[in-house]
Amino acid sequence: MPTTSSAALATVLIGVTVSAIVDLRTRRIPNVLSASLAMGGVSLAATGLSGISVGASVLGLVAGLLLMLPGYGLGATGAGDVKLLAAVGAVIGPAEVVMAFLFTALAGGLLAVAVAAHRGRLAATLSGTGRLVSGPGAARQQVAALGASSRFPYGPAIAVGTLIAVLT
């Protein structure tokens, strides 16, 4: 994170790590975690301790929210995931949250392959992914048809993506 302070770095690292652990244990990211991280990001910006302005903090929050909304609309991610990336954006700003999102998508894809292989569903998952790519208009129905058995906590992917973005 080129212009972000060590206070902001520590805040985001602790926030995504705790969120990932809670998501793994409970399959939820509580609002209090995301709200605390977002408020921490805006507060660091307001006090000049983050390396970004309050405007950049708010813009980062909005960018994180908007980046995750399509996945939520398709039913591929949960509301807690959307709020967590928005909170990350409040700490690291808009440019870094875009990078965090891209690395999160990569980490999430790798995690999905690992989970599918562990569950013995790798071939079916890859086939389903092919159908999503070839016919994106049916994506919502495809995701809904997979049901809860195909879901996995996405907080760890957000944590890994964010960590890569801020540490590179």
pLDDT level of residue 98 (50, 70, 90 thresholds): very high
pLDDT level of residue 114 (50, 70, 90 thresholds): confident
pLDDT at 144 over 80: no
Residue 151 lies in a domain: yes
Residue 118 lies in a domain: yes
Residue 20 lies in a domain: yes
**What is the domain count for the chain?**
1
Looking at residue 18, its pLDDT comes to 98
**Residues 28-57, mean pLDDT to the nearest whole number:** 97
Cα-to-chain-centroid distance, residue 37 = 13
**Residues 136-163, mean pLDDT to the nearest whole number:** 72
Task: Give, as one character, the DSSP assignment of residue 53.
Answer: -
Cβ 162 vs Cβ 88: under 8 Å: yes
pLDDT at 2 over 50: no
Residue 1 lies in a domain: no
Residue 32 lies in a domain: yes
| Distance from C-alpha of 85 to C-alpha of 67, rounded to nearest angstrom | 8
pLDDT level of residue 126 (50, 70, 90 thresholds): low
With b for 16 or more beta-carbon neighbours within 10 A and e for fewer, the 121-145 pattern comes to beeebeebeeeeeeeeeebeebbee
What percentage of the chain's residues is helix, strand, coil (to nearest 5)? 80, 0, 20
Q: What is the pTM of this model?
A: 0.84
Looking at residue 141, its pLDDT comes to 56
Residue 162 lies in a domain: yes
Residue 95's domain comprises 6-167
pLDDT at 111 over 60: yes
Residue 114 lies in a domain: yes
Looking at residue 1, its pLDDT comes to 39
Mean per-residue pLDDT of the chain: 87
Residue 117 lies in a domain: yes
